[in-house]
Structure 1
Amino acid sequence: MSENLLQHPITDPEEVRKLIPQKDPFVFVDTLFEYTALEGKTGFTIPGENVLLDENRLSESGLIEHMAQSMSLHRGYRGVLAGKDKPETGFIGVIKTVEIYNLPEIGETLTTYVEILHEIMNVTSVSARTENERGEVIATSEMKTVSVA
């Protein structure tokens, strides 16, 4: 990873929400640990009231949404550095690959590493790797996200 451009991790939920277009109850990130131009490291502690729980675990859809919002959080911080006052709206355009090895439980903290692979106009190809608290990879994906101006 290149030099981290964050002075300190962003852990305040209100500050994180300012960086993403998603709103409660559909927020699946709560920390930005590191930021470089092409990579980021995010976190999410799964709350008991999450809308995409399957019994006591984050569902597959929730895990995919977390990885996509990790990219959104990266993009939101990039916008702050560029002087933008609100985050770009976007959506998942294509999920090229996704592998889910384990579903995390309520209260677990996830760490996700995102890497921008390619960016052309408003389409970004990104890979993501999510680990549990023990450092075990529980999911990986490669997707294309589309920004809407």
Structure 2
Amino acid sequence: MAENLLHHPITDPETITRLIPQKTPFVFVDTLYEYTALTGVTGFTVPSENVLLENGSLSESGLIEHMAQSMSLHRGYQGSLSGQTKPKTGFIGIIKTVEIHSLPQSGEKLKTYVEILHEIMNVTSVSARVENEMGQVIATSEMKTVTVE
């Protein structure tokens, strides 16, 4: 298992938004807990004013966006290590699978584990697993993301 290259979690909102191309109010990650070349652990506390909140819960679309942005945060930190000053823009190319077992409530803290499965040129296959505060898996996905220069 690769060693976590972060000495401390990154929680500063300005730093997080410098590492991803998304901007407020469309930011769905707020912490980078761990980073290795192929894996990352992110966090997100669902804000009560989130744009994809429905009846006090983060919508399915919001949960999928959180998983994609978790990958984006991993990628952005990787880029910052190699001297990039601006994160590359990416988008979801294909969602191969997604399973949503429950929707997180406003105020709930999520922890998401991402892993790069394989990469060919600018297409990355990634898996994500979202857990709630009790460590229960609430969503999983496998998707292909496309990075544009």
> Structure 1-normalised TM-score?
0.99
Residues in 2 aligned to 1:42 and 1:17: alpha-carbon distance in whole angstroms: 13
Residues in 2 aligned to 1:10 and 1:76: alpha-carbon distance in whole angstroms: 12
Aligned to 2:40: 40
Two-structure CA RMSD over aligned residues (Å):
0.5
Unmatched 5+ stretches in structure 2 = none
2:134 aligned with 1:134: yes
Unmatched 5+ stretches in structure 1 = none
1:7 Cα deviation from its structure 2 partner? 1.8
2:69 aligned with 1:69: yes
Residues in 2 aligned to 1:6 and 1:75: alpha-carbon distance in whole angstroms: 14
Cα deviation, 1:23-59, whole Å, max 9, x if unaligned, reads 0000000000000000000000000110001110000
How do residues 72-111 of structure 1 correspond to structure 2 at under 5 angstroms? Answer: 72-111=72-111
Residues in 2 aligned to 1:140 and 1:36: alpha-carbon distance in whole angstroms: 20
| Paired residue secondary structure (2:91) | strand
Aligned to 1:24: 24
Q: How many residues align?
A: 149
Q: Identity percentage over the alignment?
A: 77
1:84 Cα deviation from its structure 2 partner? 0.5
Cα deviation, 1:90-126, whole Å, max 9, x if unaligned, reads 1000000000000000000000000000011000000
Aligned to 1:10: 10
Cα deviation, 1:41-84, whole Å, max 9, x if unaligned, reads 00000001100011100000000000000000000000011110
Q: Which amino acid counterpart does residue 8 of structure 1 have in structure 2?
A: H
Residues in 1 aligned to 2:50 and 2:146: alpha-carbon distance in whole angstroms: 25
2:88 aligned with 1:125: no
| Paired residue secondary structure (1:106) | coil
